[in-house]
Amino acid sequence: MSEYYSRHFNLEKVSEGIYAAIAKDGGGAFGNAGVIDLGDKTIIFDTFNTQQAAEDLRNIAVHITNKPVSWVINSHFHSDHTRGNQVFKDCHIVSSQITLQQMKENHPAKIAEQKADLEGLKKYIASLVASTDIQKMNEISFLKEMESSIPDLELVLPQYTFTHEFTISGTERTARIMTLGGGHSPCDSFLYIPEDEIIFMADLLFVGMHPSFFPYSNPTQWENILEEVNNLAIQKAIPGHGSVGSKKDIVKLKNYINEMNLLSKKIRNMEDVSIPTAYQDWTTIHIDVMEFVATIYKERQKR
């Protein structure tokens, strides 16, 4: 698919009319996104971390579906799933009510801070020594994408919200946007396409990677959400980070969270923690792998 090239993501055809945009290391996407042709309308699932990545996504979506983008879905409030919204501000943008509230509470100050410290970011990038190390090269490339995006970045919020489910019907297929509460974030939504048995799970699913976990994440609820999602008929599952997976990957992550939860009950101090053998070949993003255990452990110490 060279005609659909982007430096920010690889476009992968998941099924006829359904595409996963898998983030490239060092690009301006950071998280994955999706393009879904419903037949009479095109929808986008998540909008990446920068405007330039979102622009590529929109242009490619229009090209492969031969119709304009009508609807855009924000799965949760994190920047790598929402900062490209301004590219779609003429479209219908939808999220859960809690996600909208989180965006209002978190993004204005964060964006203002980044704009105010743009020179600091430039100096930091300049201080990084050029290297042949692939991780360092990707870090520098990503930061340069951030530097390019910040001056013109604006916060564009969803105009439509829902509490449990929002359905967009098309002539070819149906998009069911649902939330079962918060696991990774205070509220996580996913997109299920029943006709094709395909699910876009955003950061409720990581494939071949340790999941990002934050102080407000809820591992027990996350595990429960994955268990309920697993009851759906699913052929392919697109994660927020990592490659396209299947129902097996949903089960793997559920087991991972369960093991980490059990581990937190057994340890006496954090120095005793090590990554279980089954997951030692998983990669990481930017969050300490053992944050899962550390947060749960600390919460138990308060009780």
Share of the chain above pLDDT 70, in %: 90
- Amino acid identity, position 193: I
Q: Is 303 a residue whose pLDDT tops 60?
A: no
Structure tokens at 263: 């581990």
Residue identified by tokens 């699910």 is 199
Q: What is the pLDDT of residues 212-257, one digit of tens each?
A: 888 899 989 999 999 999 999 999 999 999 999 999 999 999 999 9
Parse the chain into domains and list their residue ranges. Answer: 2-105+154-302, 114-149
Domain 2-105+154-302 has CATH 2.60.40.10: no
Sign of CA dihedral 290, 124, 115, 142: negative
Q: What is the pLDDT of residues 79-127, one digit of tens each?
A: 999 999 999 999 999 999 999 999 999 999 999 999 999 999 999 999 9
What's residue 185's pLDDT? Answer: 97
- Please state, in angstroms and as integers, the Cα–Cα distance from residue 171 to each residue in 91, 174, 301, following that order: 19, 8, 54
Q: Is 292 a residue whose pLDDT tops 60?
A: no
Q: Is 133 a residue whose pLDDT tops 50?
A: yes
What's the whole-number mean pLDDT along residues 67-71?
97
Burial of 204 (0-12, 13-18, 19+ CB in 10 A): buried
Q: Residue 289 — pLDDT band, cuts 50, 70, 90? A: very low
Q: Is 275 a residue whose pLDDT tops 90?
A: no
What's the whole-number mean pLDDT along residues 26-45?
97
Q: Is 290 a residue whose pLDDT tops 60?
A: no
Residue identified by tokens 């990554």 is 275
Q: Where are the beta strands (DSSP E) in 63-118?
A: 69-73, 92-96
Q: Give the total residue count for the chain.
A: 303
What's residue 278's pLDDT? Answer: 81
What's the whole-number mean pLDDT along residues 27-52?
98
What's residue 128's pLDDT? Answer: 86
Burial of 248 (0-12, 13-18, 19+ CB in 10 A): exposed
- Report how far residue 38's alpha carbon sits from residue 45's, in angstroms, rounded to the nearest whole number: 13
Structure tokens at 55: 């622009």
Do the beta carbons of residue 115 and residue 151 sit within 8 Å? Answer: yes
Q: Residue 300 — pLDDT band, cuts 50, 70, 90? A: low
Q: Is 74 a residue whose pLDDT tops 60?
A: yes
Q: Residue 2 — pLDDT band, cuts 50, 70, 90? A: very low
Give me the chain's average pLDDT, please.
91
- Report how far residue 93's alpha carbon sits from residue 28's, in angstroms, rounded to the nearest whole number: 21
Long-range residue pairs from 37-40, CB within 8 A, at least 24 positions apart, any chain: 37/64, 37/65, 37/67, 37/170, 37/172, 38/168, 38/169, 38/170, 38/171, 38/172, 38/173, 38/174, 38/175, 39/170, 39/171, 39/172, 39/173, 40/67, 40/170, 40/171, 40/172
- Amino acid identity, position 240: G
Q: Is 3 a residue whose pLDDT tops 80?
A: no
Q: Residue 132 — pLDDT band, cuts 50, 70, 90? A: confident
- Please state, in angstroms and as integers, the Cα–Cα distance from residue 95 to each residue in 15, 162, 192, 194, 295, following that order: 24, 7, 14, 20, 28
| Choice between 241 and 283, residue whose per-residue pLDDT is larger | 241
What's residue 7's pLDDT? Answer: 96
Q: Is 5 a residue whose pLDDT tops 50?
A: yes
Q: What are the respective helix, strand and coil percentages of the chain, to the nearest 5?
A: 40, 25, 35
